[in-house]
Amino acid sequence: MKSFDAIVIGAGQSGPFLAARMVEKGMKVALIERKFLGGTCVNAGCMPTKTLVASARAAHVARNGAVYGVNLQGEIAIDMKVVKARAETVTMNARNGLIGWFAGMDGMTVIYGHGRFEGPKTVSVNGETLNAPRIFLNVGARPVIPDLPGINDIDYLTSTSIIHLDTLPRHLAVIGGSYIGLEFAQMYRRFGAEVSVIEHGPKLASREDEDISDAIADVLRSEGIDIHTGASDIAFAKSSDGITVATDSARIDASHVLIATGRKPNTDDLGLDTAGVITDKHGYITVDDRLATNVDGILALGDCNGRGAFTHTSYNDFEIAAANLLDGDDRKVSSRILAYALYIDPPLGRVGMTEKQARASGRKIMISTRPMSRVGRANERGETKGFMKVIADAETKKILGAAILGIEGDEVIHGIIDAMNAGTTYPALQWSVPIHPTVSELIPTLLGDLKPV
């Protein structure tokens, strides 16, 4: 049996950085990864997909060049092999950077294999048994495949496999109208494929307020994406030239099907029951406010704990664990203000409560909205789709939440994220003097238009 000061299972956006901090403190750490360093973000998530989004945007801008007085001769052609290779390069650069970083660390042992509990302090991997007083789980999540009629009879794609396509689908049917599915829908439409989005629920991006959801649908429809919401009785069958997707109200002749109906944690093959670690009914590892499980010395970080589903929340889990274990601090998951983005174009930046949540909270609230068509920078860039929205507490004057669907919305939202984290009241933020011309300069104006509801 090999002994370590700590064992980290999974090399996503929490585990490796925590392992590195512990090594800096003179600890001996084993980092176990069954496949690739970097987790979903580096290998099948943010980095490759946003690289693909960038290629799709380049195609979109080129097609619309004439609007800006830039005339290109002939049709815009997409070389999917180059598109794929570019995304792979970005992924490999990041992955190899991690490999090189860890190789230079004394005290770090990287083991490729499937780690599994043999007890609350012991883990087996590749036929060896390791033990440590502290074990950290950062095993991530994977796509959920729903049990729909005919699904096992077709060759479907997931968010993991679609990034490896080097040919353009004739017609891509996206099953699921949430964040992952919508990004791929717009991306492949801009590459030149016909695209249909099929969503069981009554609206796209169901977490958002109805006005945001409607605006997202308008953006996608304006680019020729076919949207079917409220779809039931979804079924699949092979056809002579592809796949038939049938619902209660539509029949789609697709060449490819992307299943984007959510994700589930990679916790079902870790031997958690052997260690006595409790999970909820969905398989997420139950943790307290400091990321500790019910078993002393075992913590769960990142997607597998159900406390966040983003790279930045996973990284913040590392920051919380490191602060508490190594720096004598007392950080809590409940202290973070959730923020995220939807990377369609224009993007959606979101932070804090939705209007629906704020109304349900019983607070006296104020709301302000402003269409992007009234933002000078958006008009100058010729990108005026979407709108800004902010919700505030009428009594405390604190900002409760915001949504910016529009050009650079994923960046502009950070002004509000920072203000919320600092506890700044909206009247104080109104007196900032932002740079002109920017999209962010409209934040004080947006706040100045807050009205009670």
- Are 275 and 120 in contact by the 8 Å Cβ rule? The answer is yes
Strand partners, 6: 29, 134
Strand partners, 108: 29
Enter the tokens of residue 64.
């619309």
**Which one of 114, 171, 282, 436 is the catalytic residue?**
436
Q: How far apart are CA 189 and CA 177, in angstroms?
A: 15
Enter the tokens of residue 46.
């943010």
Which of helix, strand or coil describes residue 125? strand
Q: Which residue has tokens 């009914």?
A: 281
Q: How far apart are CA 289 and CA 330, in angstroms?
A: 10
Query: Is 114 among the catalytic positions?
Result: no
Please choose, from the candidates 271, 343, 261, the residue with its C-alpha nearest in 3D space to the C-alpha of residue 310. 343
Return the exposure string of 305-329: e unless at least 16 CB atoms fall within 10 Å of the residue's CB, then b: bbbbbbbbbbbbbbbbbbebbeeee
Q: How far apart are CA 245 and CA 299, in angstroms?
A: 42
Q: How far apart are CA 99 and CA 33, in angstroms?
A: 12
Helices (H) and strands (E) in the chain, counts: 13, 24
Sheet of 108-112, strand order: 108-112, 29-33, 6-9, 134-137, 298-300
Strand partners, 163: none
Task: Please provide the distance, in angstroms rounded to a whole number, between the alpha carbons at the two ends of the chain.
Answer: 64
Which residues are tagged catalytic?
A: 436
